[in-house]
Amino acid sequence: MPTSDDDKLGYLGQYIRAQRQLNQLSIRGLAKMAAVSDSYLSQVERGNYRPSAEFLANVAKGLEISPDELFRMSGWLGDDESGDGPGVIEAVTRDTRLTDSQKSALIQLYRSMVGDE
C-alpha cells in the first residue's frame, strides 16, 4: 500500500481510472454522472490534486462503488483488512458485473500496485 501522500494520490487516481475504464466510461461520461468537472477528474486521475470528500462520494456514485473504498485509499479511513490483499482479490472475483478478462486485468493491476506479482 502506498505510504506517502503523493503515492496515495497517484494510487487513488489510477484506481479511479481503472474503475472508469472497466465500466467503459469516458472521462466526460463519468464526470457528467458524478456532477464534477471533467478536467478536474482528469487531474485527479493523474494524481495532481487531492479530491474533496464530496468529489470522491460523487465519483463513487458514478462508478457504483462504495465511497468508503475511495476514502480508505485517500487515507481518510483506516484499513479494515489485514493488508495482505485477499479481500480485494476475493471481491473482484465475486463481482458479477465483471467479465473473466476484466477480473484478471484488475487483479493483475492490483498485484502490480502492491508489489505482489
Q: Tens of pLDDT along 12-59?
A: 899 899 899 988 999 999 999 989 899 999 999 998 888 888 899 999
Give ∠ CA 30-65-59 in degrees, rounded to 5: 35
CATH 1.20.1560.10 fits 1-79, yes or no: no
The span from the CA of 84 to the CA of 28, in Å, is 34
Residues in the chain: 117
The segment(s) of the chain belonging to CATH 1.10.260.40 are: 1-79
pTM: 0.63
pLDDT of residue 116: 55
The answer for residues whose C-beta is within 8 angstroms of residue 58's C-beta and 6 or more apart is 34, 35, 36
